[in-house]
Amino acid sequence: MSETFFVYPEAVDRFAFDWGHLTVTCGPSVNGAGKFSAGVVHVPPGQGHARHNHPGAEEIIYVLEGNGEQTVEDTEGNPITEQVRAGCTIFVPEARFHSTLNTSDAPMKLFVVYSPAGPEELLRDLPDFRLVHPPHK
């Protein structure tokens, strides 16, 4: 794989789901990054992804646009829910359950980072997963 330093979301595959989509813009299969992966998540109004976790990985979620409701479980497994908006950084510790819901009437756009890389590839096993190739592929 040649080194790829600059990646635009419209140039790579998109992981589509019933609740929105994730475009992985940095990671082993995109540009050889090995210690983390990252991408852009789009969540339409009223949609959200179900409660889930990433065993063995931490996650950072940064709200780029929109607002909604973010839940992250504490060390005892209690859900902590906050209203979040553009500019908020959410830290999801390793293996903690979390979920995101767009409670607004505008799209929500998130930038996510997984460390180590890998949790994004497990999304391919979800029943509503669809791989969408960019127009030029």
Architecture of the 9-132 domain = Sandwich (2.60)
- CB atoms under 10 Å from CB of 30, counted, come to 21
Which residue in this structure is represented by tokens 């065993």? 55
Q: Tell me the pLDDT tens digit for each residue of 30-65.
A: 999 999 999 999 999 999 998 999 999 999 999 999
**Confidence bin at 2 (pLDDT 50/70/90):** low
Q: How many whole angstroms from its chain centre is CA 136?
A: 24
Residue 1 has pLDDT above 60, yes or no: no
Residue 3 has pLDDT above 90, yes or no: no
pLDDT, residue 113, reads 98
* 3-class DSSP assignment, residue 28: helix
Average of per-residue pLDDT across 9-21: 96
* 3-class DSSP assignment, residue 9: helix
- The pLDDT mean for the chain works out to 95
pTM: 0.94
Residue 92 has pLDDT above 80, yes or no: yes
